[in-house]
Amino acid sequence: MRQDYLGFVTQLQRQHPDIAHVHVLGERVTHVFHPDYVREVLVDQSDALIRWERATEVFSVSMGQSVLVTEGAQWQRQRRMLQPGFTPKRVAGYAGLMATATRTALDALAGQVQAQGQAQGQTHSADVEALMTRVTLDVILRTLFGQHQVQDARPLAQAIQTLSHYGYTQFFMPFSWPMWMPLPAVRRARAALRTLNTLIGQHIGLAQARGDDGGGDLLTMLRLARDPEQATQGLSAQELHDQTMVMFQAGHETSATALTWWCGLMARHPEVARRIRHEVDTVLQGQDPTPATLAHLPWLQASIKESLRLYPPAAILMTRRACKDIRVGPWRLPKGQLIALTPYVIQRDARWFDHPDDFRPERFLPDAPEVPRGAWAPFGTGPRVCIGQHFAMLEIGLIAAMLMQRFHLHWPQGAAWPAVDLAVSLRPAKAMVLNLKLRARPSLASPQDRQQIADPTASKTSTSGTS
Ligand code: HEM
């Protein structure tokens, strides 16, 4: 299990397609696979469950008592206060900041590519994970803080990675070392945490000095958040710090990972990429995408959903502990049982997804047969569903569309598709290095293209072999 957790759970699901009970190191764990059971656990039984304590202990080291970590009345209060800042309408207000961050990063890259001889038609090889980390980091800095003070974001990206890796090693230990321990790994985690705490502290200080400037950023939203049940009550200073930290960390690594896999799939499936490029050119006509225009890009949206199906970035968060006896289907699960939900396996079930390992975005086109509820849940479902899901889908859509406007992505000849590496997020086991080729200015689509895009299912593209 430890060597290949996903391989183990995949085998388990093949033997027991709906639900499986296993004993691991004295723990009784139920793996839930059937979408109906997924919903029974995450939606119907949510009151009787808490997050796996070991995960929350580990996350609390860097995310304190934030909405990702808390339970019960404290979680309910925090979620009530934050939720209004993450509705689709509210999130659409961050689109301008997101597009600016993306434009800046991609235009810098385009300049770099040009300088390296693109004029002669050469390709530029790029580690897309590093590139997407840069872009999403800038997006979260701008959306979180408005005008941020960060000149060089690399130490921040490094600090998040260090904490993420440190966190993952801790999941498999029965307890965490105290943060003062003079061990090299703890020392590195401590330094990383100090870097992020300084960033958050500085920006909260600046925002408080500015007062309520009506800024449309996430930090202003957090500062002004009020409990609807006690309208005078806002977040305490510590809560404000912790919520800002969770938005910063959760809002960046998962999106970067999602975009990395999506870029790889685009390079690997040029026929799908071509369709999406036509669609993007026709609808956007060279303009930056907006929430409204993204809604008219069904192939782009479907390709993102399909990429999140094959490679759901958040791999661990959805494990729960039963606080009392519960029923799941015909089964009684006793108090104390751990319940594991593994979207990577649930979302590759051949009963709901024909040729489940193939990349087929048309599964998610508007007129495709409906996917059973609970079978696609990269953001979870139920009351604890990812609060940032609309934010993430908007951010990924904007970045993906703008990338398509500027570059062709090519898979390097002879390179193998990377295996998955399960850390806190589900990343490629080796760097996803792609060949980027700068596009000429996006041309307006021909009338035939317009026709094809108006009817995206006219010739369904079926592609196979993601690996
Ligand atoms: C592709 C990007 C993302 C993915 C795949 C993702 C996935 C998830 C998942 C699976 C959960 C746990 C759901 C559960 O336990 O049932 C979660 C929780 C959470 N996510 Fe995301 N997330 C993403 C982006 C974001 C962004 C952009 C933000 C914030 C700006 C964010 C903030 C949070 C928070 C605060 C929670 C805890 C919610 C709670 O427990 O009430 N996430 N996310």
Confidence (pLDDT) at 70? 95
Confidence (pLDDT) at 453? 40
Confidence (pLDDT) at 415? 94
| Confidence grade of residue 452 (pLDDT, cut at 50, 70, 90) | very low
**Calpha distance 43→26 (Å, rounded):** 27
For 288-344, write each residue's pLDDT tens digit: 999 999 999 999 999 999 999 999 998 767 899 999 999 999 999 999 999 999 999
Q: Show Cβ contacts of residue 91 under 8 Å, excluding neighbours closer than 6 positions.
A: 291, 390, 391, 394
Helices and strands (H, E) in the chain, number of each type: 17, 12
More confident residue, 225 or 276: 276
Which 8-state DSSP code applies to residue 46?
G
Q: Is the distance from CB of 428 to CB of 132 less than 8 angstroms?
A: no
| Confidence grade of residue 119 (pLDDT, cut at 50, 70, 90) | low
Confidence (pLDDT) at 115? 76
Q: For residue 456, is pLDDT > 70?
A: no
Q: For residue 46, is pLDDT > 70?
A: yes
More confident residue, 460 or 62: 62
Q: Is the distance from CB of 428 to CB of 129 less than 8 angstroms?
A: yes
Confidence (pLDDT) at 122? 67
What's the 200 CA to ligand 1 centre distance in angstroms? 19
Q: What is the mean pLDDT of residues 164-172?
A: 82
| Contact residues of ligand 1, CB 6 A cut-off | 42, 67-68, 79, 246-247, 250-251, 254-255, 258, 313-314, 317-318, 378-380, 384-388, 391-392
Q: What is the mean pLDDT of residues 227-243?
A: 86
Q: Is the distance from CB of 274 to CB of 268 less than 8 angstroms?
A: no
Confidence (pLDDT) at 420? 92
Q: Would the pTM count as exceeding 0.95?
A: no
Q: Atom 41 of ligand 1 has which residue's CA nearest to it? A: 384
**Calpha distance 68→83 (Å, rounded):** 13
What's the 280 CA to ligand 1 centre distance in angstroms? 28
Q: For residue 408, is pLDDT > 80?
A: yes
Which 8-state DSSP code applies to residue 21?
E
Q: Are strands 27-32 and 338-340 parallel, antiparallel or unpaired?
A: parallel
> Where do runs of H (alpha helix) occur along 16-116?
35-39, 53-63, 72-82, 88-92, 95-115
Confidence (pLDDT) at 461? 40
Buried b (16+ CB within 10 A) or exposed e, 399-433: bbbbbbbbbbbbbeeeeeebebebbbbbbbeeebb
| Confidence grade of residue 177 (pLDDT, cut at 50, 70, 90) | confident
More confident residue, 228 or 327: 327
User: What structural domains does the chain harbor?
Assistant: 58-315+366-454 (1.10.630.10)
Confidence (pLDDT) at 294? 97
396 CA closest ligand 1 atom index? 1
- Closest of 156, 152, 167 to residue 192, by C-alpha: 156
**Reduced to 3 DSSP states, what percent helix, strand and coil does the chain have, rounded to the nearest 5?**
55, 10, 35
Q: For residue 351, is pLDDT > 60?
A: yes
Q: Show Cβ contacts of residue 194 under 8 Å, excluding neighbours closer than 6 positions.
A: none
Q: Is the distance from CB of 166 to CB of 188 less than 8 angstroms?
A: yes
**Calpha distance 311→428 (Å, rounded):** 9
Q: How far is CA 77 from the centre of its chain?
A: 24
More confident residue, 73 or 461: 73
| Confidence grade of residue 121 (pLDDT, cut at 50, 70, 90) | low
Q: What is the mean pLDDT of residues 362-367?
A: 96
Q: Is 251 helix (H, G, I), strand (E, B) or coil?
A: helix
Counting residues of the chain whose pLDDT is more than 70, the rounded percentage is 92
**Calpha distance 300→115 (Å, rounded):** 30
What's the 306 CA to ligand 1 centre distance in angstroms? 18
| Confidence grade of residue 462 (pLDDT, cut at 50, 70, 90) | very low
Average pLDDT, the chain: 88
Q: For residue 1, is pLDDT > 90?
A: no
Q: For residue 458, is pLDDT > 60?
A: no
In sequence order, what E strands does 301-363 have?
320-322, 326-328, 331-333, 338-340
Residue of 235, 379, 396, 398 to mutate, ligand 1, most atoms within 8 A of C-beta: 379
Counting residues of the chain whose pLDDT is more than 90, the rounded percentage is 62
Which 8-state DSSP code applies to residue 17?
S
Q: Is the distance from CB of 149 to CB of 205 less than 8 angstroms?
A: no
Q: Atom 1 of ligand 1 has which residue's CA nearest to it? A: 255
What's the 447 CA to ligand 1 centre distance in angstroms? 41
What's the 118 CA to ligand 1 centre distance in angstroms? 39
| CB-count burial class (<10 Å; 0-12, 13-18, 19+) for 3 | exposed
Residue of 386, 395, 399 to mutate, ligand 1, most atoms within 8 A of C-beta: 386
For 409-450, write each residue's pLDDT tens digit: 999 999 999 999 887 789 999 999 999 999 876 444 444 544
Q: Is the distance from CB of 317 to CB of 51 less than 8 angstroms?
A: yes
Confidence (pLDDT) at 397? 98
| Confidence grade of residue 109 (pLDDT, cut at 50, 70, 90) | confident
Q: For residue 457, is pLDDT > 80?
A: no
**Calpha distance 68→367 (Å, rounded):** 35
Q: What is the mean pLDDT of residues 81-95?
A: 92
Confidence (pLDDT) at 335? 96
| Confidence grade of residue 74 (pLDDT, cut at 50, 70, 90) | very high
Buried b (16+ CB within 10 A) or exposed e, 343-369: bbbbbbbeebbeebebbbbbbbeeeee
What's the 250 CA to ligand 1 centre distance in angstroms? 6
Confidence (pLDDT) at 428? 94
More confident residue, 235 or 399: 399
| Confidence grade of residue 451 (pLDDT, cut at 50, 70, 90) | very low
**Calpha distance 40→394 (Å, rounded):** 28
**Calpha distance 291→296 (Å, rounded):** 9
Q: Which stretch of DSSP H or E encloses residue 276?
A: helix 270-284
What's the 342 CA to ligand 1 centre distance in angstroms? 15
392 CA closest ligand 1 atom index? 27
Confidence (pLDDT) at 167? 84
**Calpha distance 310→378 (Å, rounded):** 10
- Note the residue count of the chain: 467
Q: For residue 375, is pLDDT > 90?
A: yes
Q: For residue 261, is pLDDT > 60?
A: yes
Q: How far is CA 79 from CA 71, 236, 288, 323, 353, in A?
A: 10, 14, 32, 21, 33
Confidence (pLDDT) at 445? 45
The values of phi and psi at residue 83, to 5°, are: -50, -45
Q: What is the mean pLDDT of residues 119-133?
A: 81
Q: How far is CA 420 from CA 62, 66, 153, 427, 467, in A?
A: 25, 29, 26, 6, 11
For 151-166, write each residue's pLDDT tens digit: 888 899 889 889 888 8
| CB-count burial class (<10 Å; 0-12, 13-18, 19+) for 20 | middle
Q: Is the distance from CB of 244 to CB of 85 less than 8 angstroms?
A: no
Q: What is the mean pLDDT of residues 334-359?
A: 96
Confidence (pLDDT) at 362? 97
312 CA closest ligand 1 atom index? 5
Q: Is the distance from CB of 13 to CB of 33 less than 8 angstroms?
A: yes
